[in-house]
Structure 1
Amino acid sequence: MTLRIDIWSDVNCPWCYIGKRRFEEGLRSFVHADEVEVTWHAYLLDPSLPERFDGTEAEYLAQMKGMSPEQVEGMLAQVTEAAASVGLDYHFEKLVPAQSLRAHALVKAAALHGKDAGAVKEALLSAHFVEGRVTSDEDVLVEIGASVGLSEEVVRSSLTDRQVLGLVQEDITTAQRIGVTGVPFFVFDQKYAVSGAQQVEVFTQVLERAWTEAHGE
C-alpha cells in the first residue's frame, strides 16, 4: 500500500519551490520512498493577478502588499538566500508576474494523460523563478508540455478545457474547505498536515510517522 501525499502549491510562490526541494530531500532519506505517491494540487495566491502584470516582481509586491521598495528588496533578498540554500538560483530581477491558472491547467493535463505531473511542476517553477519566462504564455506551456510527451494540441486545448479547469477549481475549493490559507501545504496520508517550507527534518519525521501508523512498522 502506497503512502499518499497531497501538495497544494502555486507556481507564483517562491516558498513552494523551496518547500518542494526540502520535501524531496526528506523523501530521499525515507526508506519507503519508492512507495510514496505525490499528487499536486492547484492554489491561487492572487486570483486577481492579470495574465501578465505590467511591471517587475518588486513593483507587483509593493503594490499588492503595500510595502516600501526597501522592504520588498529586503524580503526578496531573504527569499533568494533561502532558495540558494537548497540549490535554487532565483532571479527576481527578470521574473515576470503572471496569472498561474494556465500553469495549473497544464499540471492537471499531464496527470490526466498519464504523464509526469511532478516534472511539469518542476519545469514551471524553474521557468518562473530561475529562467524568468512567462508561465502564462501558451508557447512556453507547449514547450514544457512537450518535455513530458504532451502534444501541442493537447496542451493548447487543455488551457480552456472544462474538465481540466474543473479539476483546478476543485483543488481550490478543497483547499478552502480544509482550511488552507497559505502554500506550500502538505497532507500526508490524509491525516497529517504540514504548512510552509519546513526544514527537511520535519518532512522526514512526518513521513516516518504516517508510514508507521499506516503499516504498523
Structure 2
Amino acid sequence: MSAAENTVKLDIVSDVMCPWCFVGKRRLEKALENTDPNINVEINWMPFQLDATLPPEGKDRQLYLSDKFGGKENADKFYQTIKQAGDGEGIDFDFDAIKVSPNTLDAHRLIAWAGQQGDEPQNQMVELLFKAYFQDGKNIGDHAVLTEIATEAGMDAKQVAARLKSEDGLLETRQAIDHAQQIGVSGVPCFIFDGKYGVSGAQAPETLAMAIKKIAAGEGL
C-alpha cells in the first residue's frame, strides 16, 4: 500500500470556546497513540462558532452564564460533567478563571494562519488557545492576547498584530463556518474523515482509533 493510500485526512470542526472540543482533542491524541504508525493521519482544524452573536470584545462571563443557563448555579451543574470528563483526560478546567466569554472569530483566523505552516504548528496553536482560555481564563478574542499566544507558538508578533487589525482571512473563516453548517454540522467537535464520514462528539479514543483504521483500510463507517 502506497503512502497516499495509507493516508487518512481528518478535518476537525471545532470551536476553541467549546470545552468538549478540548476533551475531544485529548481523546484523539490517545487514539493516535494506538494507531498503526504506518497510517498517516493528516489533521486540519476547521472553524465553528458556538455563539457568533457575541460582540468582538466578548461578553461578561457571569452575564453570559445568566443568559445561557439562567445563572451560575445552573451553569456549575452543567460544567460539572465536563470537569469530570476533563479530569479523566488530564485537563484541569478552571471555569471560574474565565471572566469574558469571547467571540472566537479572530482565534479561528489565527488557527488558519498557523495551518499554513503545517499540521503540527496548527495543532500547537489550537492547544495553546484551549489552555489560555480554559486553564488561564484569558480572553482569546482580545488581539493582544492572541498576539501573545501567536508569539509563544513562534509566529512573528508584529505581523500577527497587523493581520488581526486587517480583514485578512475574515471572509475565508466565515465561509468555512458557513460550509460546516451547510454540510450538517450542528455541534462540535465533529470529526470528518476523508471528507465523507462524520463522527460527532468527544468520542472515546477506541471509537476514533477504529474509525481511522477502517478509513485507512478503505472501508466506510
Say whether the fold is shared (TM-score over 0.5): yes
Identity among equivalent positions (%) equals 33
CA distance, structure 1, for counterparts of residue 25 and residue 11 of structure 2: 12
User: CA-atom RMSD, angstroms?
Assistant: 1.9
**Is this contact kept in 2: 1:105–1:158, CA < 8 A?**
no
Indicate the SS of the match to 2:138: coil
Determine if the alignment matches structure 1 residue 203 to structure 2 residue 212: no
Q: Which residue of 1 aligns with 2:30?
A: 25
Cα distance, 1:170 vs structure 2? 2.2
- Equivalent residue in structure 2 for 1:108, among 107, 112, 118: 112
CA distance, structure 2, for counterparts of residue 19 and residue 88 of structure 1: 11
Cα distance, 1:145 vs structure 2? 1.0
Q: Which residue of 1 aligns with 2:89?
A: 86
Indicate the SS of the match to 2:95: coil
Q: Which residue of 2 aligns with 1:74?
A: 77
Cα distance, 1:52 vs structure 2? 3.7
CA distance, structure 2, for counterparts of residue 141 and residue 55 of structure 1: 18
Cα distance, 1:196 vs structure 2? 0.7
Report the residue type matching 1:110 in the other structure. Answer: A
Q: Which residue of 2 aligns with 1:42?
A: 47
CA distance, structure 1, for counterparts of residue 38 and residue 159 of structure 2: 31
CA distance, structure 2, for counterparts of residue 5 and residue 197 of structure 1: 15
- Number of paired residues? 212
Cα distance, 1:153 vs structure 2? 2.2
Instruction: Name the stretch that deviates more: 105-114 or 95-104.
Output: 105-114
Report the residue type matching 2:214 in the other structure. Answer: R
CA distance, structure 1, for counterparts of residue 58 and residue 173 of structure 2: 22
- Equivalent residue in structure 2 for 1:146, among 151, 166, 178: 151
Report the residue type matching 2:73 in the other structure. Answer: E
**Is this contact kept in 2: 1:13–1:45, CA < 8 A?**
yes
Q: Which residue of 1 aligns with 2:179?
A: 174
Report the residue type matching 2:84 in the other structure. Answer: E
**Is this contact kept in 1: 2:58–2:141, CA < 8 A?**
no
Instruction: Name the stretch that deviates more: 196-205 or 151-160.
Output: 151-160
Report the residue type matching 1:176 in the other structure. Answer: Q
Q: Residues 25 and 106 from structure 1, CA distance in 2 versus in 1: closer, same or farther, beyond 3 angstroms?
A: same
Indicate the SS of the match to 1:19: helix
Determine if the alignment matches structure 1 residue 159 to structure 2 residue 156: no
**Is this contact kept in 2: 1:109–1:155, CA < 8 A?**
no
Q: Which runs of 5+ in 1 are unaligned?
A: none
Cα distance, 1:116 vs structure 2? 0.6
CA distance, structure 2, for counterparts of residue 30 and residue 70 of structure 1: 41
CA distance, structure 1, for counterparts of residue 89 and residue 117 of structure 2: 31
Q: Residues 149 and 176 from structure 1, CA distance in 2 versus in 1: closer, same or farther, beyond 3 angstroms?
A: same
Q: Which residue of 2 aligns with 1:64?
A: 68
Q: C-alpha offsets along residues 144-197 of structure 1, whole Å, 9 cap, x if unaligned?
A: 112232111221132244441122112112101211001101101122211011
Q: Which runs of 5+ in 2 are unaligned?
A: none
Indicate the SS of the match to 2:60: coil
Instruction: Name the stretch that deviates more: 153-162 or 82-91.
Output: 153-162
Q: Residues 12 and 33 from structure 1, CA distance in 2 versus in 1: closer, same or farther, beyond 3 angstroms?
A: farther
